[in-house]
Amino acid sequence: MSFQCFKIITRFKLRDKQKINIFLDFTVDFRKLLTYLYFLLCFLFFTFYYNYHLHFIEQLQLFRFNWNYIGQYIQKPASISCLAGDFFTQFFYLKTVGAILITFSLFLFWYQSSRALTDIVSPKLSYSISLLLTIAVTSLHFNILYPLSATFSLIVAVVTFRLYIRILRLPYRAVLGIMLALILYLSIGFGIYLFVLLVLLYEMKLKQIKGFLKLGYSIILVSTVFIYPVSMRFFYYLTPRQAYLFPITELAKPLPNFILETMFSLDYEWYSNNPERTIELARKTRLKSRYVSYYFNMASASINKLPENLLSFNQYGLYGMFIPYDKETNFISLLFGNELYYLIGDMNASQHFALMANTFSPKGESSRMFRRLVETNIINGEYAVVRKYLKMLNQTIFYRNWASEMEQYLTNQELCKKTPLIVQKRELRPTTDHIKSNPNDFVSSLYFLLNDHPENQIALDYLLCICLLNKDIEGFYDALVKYNYNQSGTNLPRLYQEALIVYSAIKRDKEILNTFHVSTEILKQSKLYEEKYFQAYGKKSVLMKDFGNTYWVYLSFSSQP
């Protein structure tokens, strides 16, 4: 009886152990499932919700296949990780490839760090710590100034640590640890901190080094971390902050910047020659920003719909029409700003903005600004300058074909004459010199362009719309007459007709309306607006339903000057 009871109890114990093992297996599998799900979400996030950031990052560098260029990496800190990171960053040019590269690098970091930490802590704890570290590194990728090379630095640091612990004999391992720390700073930069931390934790657990030797070894490694970067900064011409953080150049909030992503989306569609798509995205976004208005207005002007679309969108006056120099000016706003000058035909201003944007970009070599400098100098006929930039673009993977196409314009003037864009831009080039009173004197730039070429329709629309947004009805009328807007005999855009009705009322001159062929329908609307305005006692909410996009409502209720 007792023997049978023992057998039953033993069976139950075996079954309980099996259940525990099954539960543990399920827990481990579930943890792995969550981890793989995390990396899937990373890929989807960077592919569909942050892809414009990746396109913009690619435009901020120019990786060239030239031995002199590649050799320059040896003279820079974190040479190996920077070389690898910049090489792979150029593939952000391809759709989804950037998301794949970032996700794979994060997965590789997680995998290597989880393996490395198992030699220091328990497998369960190493799994959790490595995943938390990976999440932290993922958040760094939200910043456009965080380079892919920085993540590569961390991966190399962990892999080097795994090689370090394979050395079983203590004296060899200790000497190798110091040598590796010195070499790692030169090759991967700030990743040295992670390597030294892992080494110290590993030796503390192993307890092979004792007493003063343990203290001495720790002091040497820690000194390497804090003293070596500062001593090397003079060789690399770095500030103390850069010496410790390189290849990271700026620390930012570890949160996605969807405001910047919205602006990058508008910029990408505009630069890809999709003005209708740019307008569509601007209308869809809930972001109220002068940059959104800037791209909306620029895209509208490019398809000759600026006066038609102007008051159907949120406006910020003059600074919603162009990007000024102010306390917020950086290489991003300079890059954005050159687009408008290129559109209106001011090649010198466009080139000036492009040069500054390129100079202040993180690497000082922007593929996008190089292409813009090629375009502006071809239009200006400065072929020697063009050849300099084309030589560098010819050394790239993705811009080689574009550079070859541009080279044809240098030797074939007939081709230039057959290319509408070049012909149009050259015909609108100013023939007189113009010195701006200040960098934000955008209005005088428009007058300067129009004085030489009154047929510059985009520049004229910008001038007229700026006058209207500033409630300068007198200036609007003077420009309309001076540059003979309706020289073709066609009707003026509705916005301009509405403004002329106001000007006619101010001057008490109805002949103005006949001169510019103001339609009877719009005249009837103006009288109806006047009646409803007094009936509603000037309440904006009552008038918005029928007159929301009219210049009369803007003039009556807008806070713009």
Q: Are 141 and 147 in contact (CB under 8 A)?
A: no
- The encoded tokens of residue 316 equal 């910020």
**Mean pLDDT score across all residues of the chain:** 89
Per-residue model confidence (pLDDT) at position 18: 56
Provide mean pLDDT across the span 52-71. Answer: 95
Check residue 486 and give its pLDDT.
64
DSSP string, 243-304: HHHTT------SS--HHHHHHHHHHHHHHTT-HHHHHHHHHH-----HHHHHHHHHHHHHTT
Of 41-50, 269-278, 416-425, where does mean pLDDT reach its minimum? 416-425
Q: What is residue 510's predicted lDDT score, i.e. its pLDDT?
A: 87
Segment 205-222, tens digit of pLDDT:
877 666 656 677 778 888
Token digits for 260?
């910047």
The predicted structure's pLDDT at residue 311: 94
523 band by pLDDT with thresholds 50, 70 and 90:
very high
Which of 272, 292, 294, 275 is CA-nearest to residue 284?
292
- Specify whether the backbone of 519 is left (phi greater than 0), alpha (psi in -120 to 50) or beta: beta
- Ranking 167-176, 228-237, 410-419, 485-494 by mean pLDDT, the lowest is 485-494
Q: Which residue shows structure tokens 């050259």?
A: 426
| Percent of the chain predicted with pLDDT > 70 | 92
Domains detected in the chain: 2-245 (no CATH), 258-427 (1.25.40), 486-557 (no CATH)
**Quick one: pLDDT band at residue 3, thresholds 50, 70, 90?**
very low
Tell me: the pLDDT tens digits for 119-158?
A: 999 888 898 899 999 999 999 999 999 999 999 999 999 9
Name the CA dihedral angle for 229, 231, 234, 237, rounded to a multiple of 10 degrees: 0
Backbone angles phi, psi at 158, to 5 degrees: -70, -40
Separation CA 478–CA 476 (nearest Å) = 6
Tell me the average pLDDT across 57-82. 92
In this predicted structure, the answer to whether residue 350 has a pLDDT above a threshold of 60 is yes
The 10s digit of each residue's pLDDT in 455-497 is: 999 999 999 999 999 999 999 999 999 998 765 446 789 999 9
In the chain, pLDDT over 90 holds for what percent of residues? Answer: 63
Give the separation between CA 386 and CA 480, rounded to whole angstroms.
38
* d(C-alpha 16, C-alpha 238), whole Å: 63
Kindly report, residue by residue over 414-449, the tens digit of the pLDDT.
999 899 889 999 998 887 777 777 778 888 889 999
Q: What pLDDT, on the 0 to 100 scale, is given for residue 12?
A: 42
Q: Is 561 a residue whose pLDDT tops 70?
A: no
**Dihedral over alpha carbons 383, 388, 390, 395 (to 10 degrees):** 160
Taking 70 as the threshold, does the pLDDT of residue 8 lie above it?
A: no
Q: Give the tens place of pLDDT for each residue, 249-259.
A: 888 788 899 99
What would the mean pLDDT of 53-71 be, rounded to a whole number?
A: 94
Total residue count of the chain as it appears in this document: 561
The pair of three-digit structure tokens given for residue 379, joined into one six-digit string: 């239009």
Q: Find the helix packing angle between 457-469 and 290-302, rounded to 10°.
A: 140
This prediction's pTM: 0.90
Convert 478-514 to b/e letters by CB count within 10 Å (16 or more is b). Answer: ebbeebebeeeeeebbbbbbbbbbbbbeeeeeeebbe
Q: How confident is the model at residue 558 (pLDDT cuts 50, 70, 90)?
A: confident
For residue 119, the tally of other CB atoms under 10 A from its CB is 15
* Confidence category of residue 503, pLDDT binned at 50, 70, 90: very high
* d(C-alpha 87, C-alpha 65), whole Å: 10
Residue 1 in this model has a pLDDT that exceeds 50: no
pLDDT reported for residue 177: 86
Cα distance from N-terminal residue to C-terminal residue, the chain: 102
286-341 pLDDT tens trace? 899 999 999 999 999 999 999 999 999 999 998 899 998 877 789 999 999 999 99
What would the pLDDT profile of 373-411 be if each residue is shown by its tens digit? 999 999 999 999 999 999 999 999 999 999 999 999 998
Distance CA 547, CA 498 (A): 11
